Structure 1
């Protein structure tokens, strides 16, 4: 009897790779060997007859791939918290299980959220640029040199208020944030879960709002942490920016297309808002040196590094392998998407 075949689209970190390698006697393991992202042609060539796939965020799991894999495909493990690279209805129709890694990233992304808020408010990117260009000697000190808004006494608005957003708020409380407001998929209603005991006990006001417009008007800091759906695509638009405070900043640690990039560039150009901090952006990673967003001194853009701590990536890799193996054996995954 032939061994079940699994296709893995990236080399994995040590512990995760060892767990996978230990199954070589029981599984036929086909693994992409380059450090570069998996080639689509390679994936389609190796998918036929696979029982399981372990994929990255850069791998599109669509009808083409599923049809190519065929009826043997029973489980997919994604090395990600997001699933917008996967056709979920197609998986459901084929009864294919899907594992993902939603809880591994919480601390790392929450930490980065605070970093981006501070960088946007304190003009970190602009300041570093002046030093690297040798402009510091031409910057005589004066009372308002490189000043920006602070966090103490501010209102932070969250578009999406899940585990990561709440972890970010937990970190912001010691900065003296006065109020937190949030909008979830149920406008005006309380969050489904209080992950860290923040709601009503943090010493600050934490309450839902009824609309994105209200959140834009009230917030000194807007944190985008919602999933990308048809409803949230370009939720942060020209109209949204037009309602924000002039000293407000926006941070995106979720999915790039939630913010209309053209509208953001315009808002920064016209000083409708103070600044922005982005871990994600539309059309990433295809951001060339002449992209308009890079001409904005008060926009800090980093290349989707929210989960980029050693500990987080190791945990994501290990959990992805465990999800794959659990799916193949019909056991409970560490984290499984409910389809």
Structure 2
């Protein structure tokens, strides 16, 4: 408890005028807010944690035993403004009896939109062609019938089958698939949790739902070989680390496009750069890169002309960010009050 016996909550970032009143107007709380518009300083956080009942942070700031121990037994809840939680030591929270709120669902549409955009950009050589204009090369360019051509997203008379693949088939993947159907996608492949069994009935119902000729759950090898566009949309963490590696990439079609809007650690950056350079696949669209934000002009993927790299902006729409921040605050307040959160991760299996 803080002075006046008001419960103390530590907020690691100002979340703007649409959301902060939910906290700042609470006269029954002692709100301690990181005052700067940059990542919360660790030393500041450690100084203000003792006695806190709740902490609101965001990816990629680590929440580990150091944080839990510094806060002490008063800590009831950690709320993260993110759908991912690999930056949080779940067993430590579970052992301490601290609840965890996160923000899934809110960003589904925004990330699905961006995923489709990256597939189009990578397939249609937007990286290369933008440079032609930006570098004043367009007036010097000599047109030819196949200059700047790339694989078409939609099915055509010449190529009547278009197969989209998903490594991970949760909410965002299915929202992405829904957006692709009007483009003329005909087949869908996906991978599932290895601990669960394939369900042909589910595949048939998905095919009917999305009006596709076929939906199949497959292994990673089949996914790599048969996908025309491959979306990486699985969670991060040790189990998926570099699941897309050199061996995987060598199996892909030379005309295929890879899109990653989940976590950079799923894709081996050096292997992907080599694959693009040597033409194992056509192009890649990345919103996430391993080691981000330390990705500069000399990064091997940034150097590849057929690789579009964005600075992790999947959820960066005004509506989505306000929604995420609002849910994060409401999760925090519910956790403090011992009430049901809007989105709480079950830590019983952590």
TM-score normalized with structure 2 length: 0.93
Q: Deviations over 1:300-326 (max 9, x none)?
A: 000000000000001111111100000
Partner of 2:16: 13
Q: 1:79 is matched with which residue: 62, 78, 81?
A: 81
Partner of 1:277: 285
Q: How does 1:274-313 map to 2 (within 5 A)?
A: 274-313=282-321
The 4+ residue runs of structure 1 with deviation greater than 6 A are 191-194
Counterpart check, 1:217 vs 2:225? yes
Q: Deviations over 1:280-316 (max 9, x none)?
A: 0000001122111111000000000000000000111
RMSD of Structure 2 on Structure 1 (CA) = 1.7
Partner of 1:176: 184
Partner of 1:189: 198
Q: Deviations over 1:113-136 (max 9, x none)?
A: 000000010011111111101111
Partner of 1:2: 5
Name the CA distance, whole Å, in 1 between partners of 2:200 and 2:266.
20
Residue 189 of structure 2 contacts residue 218 of structure 2 at CA under 8 Å; is this kept in 1? no
Partner SS state of residue 115, structure 2: helix
Q: How does 1:147-186 map to 2 (within 5 A)?
A: 147-153=149-155, 154-186=162-194
Give the deviation of 1:58 after TM superposition.
Answer: 2.4
Which deviates more from structure 2 when the two are superposed, residues 230-239 or residues 134-143?
134-143
Name the CA distance, whole Å, in 2 between partners of 1:208 and 1:20.
47
| Structure 2 gaps, min length 5 | 156-161
Name the CA distance, whole Å, in 2 between partners of 1:184 and 1:206.
16
Residue 49 of structure 2 contacts residue 71 of structure 2 at CA under 8 Å; is this kept in 1? yes
Partner of 1:43: 45
Give the deviation of 1:185 after TM superposition.
Answer: 1.1
Partner SS state of residue 208, structure 1: strand
Partner of 1:33: 35
Partner SS state of residue 53, structure 1: strand
Residue 119 of structure 2 contacts residue 229 of structure 2 at CA under 8 Å; is this kept in 1? yes
Q: 1:330 to 1:92 in 2, by over 3 A?
A: same
Name the CA distance, whole Å, in 2 between partners of 1:48 and 1:64.
11
Partner of 1:231: 239
| Structure 1 gaps, min length 5 | none
Give the deviation of 1:231 after TM superposition.
Answer: 2.0
Partner of 2:62: 60
Counterpart check, 1:114 vs 2:116? yes
Q: 1:82 to 1:89 in 2, by over 3 A?
A: same
Q: Deviations over 1:34-80 (max 9, x none)?
A: 11111111111111111000001121101111111111111011000
Partner SS state of residue 165, structure 1: helix
In the comparison of the two structures, how many residue pairs are matched?
336
Partner of 2:264: 256
TM-score normalized with structure 1 length: 0.96
Residue 166 of structure 2 contacts residue 191 of structure 2 at CA under 8 Å; is this kept in 1? yes
Q: How does 1:92-131 map to 2 (within 5 A)?
A: 92-131=94-133
Residue 49 of structure 1 contacts residue 69 of structure 1 at CA under 8 Å; is this kept in 2? yes
Residue 188 of structure 1 contacts residue 211 of structure 1 at CA under 8 Å; is this kept in 2? no
Residue 158 of structure 1 contacts residue 224 of structure 1 at CA under 8 Å; is this kept in 2? yes
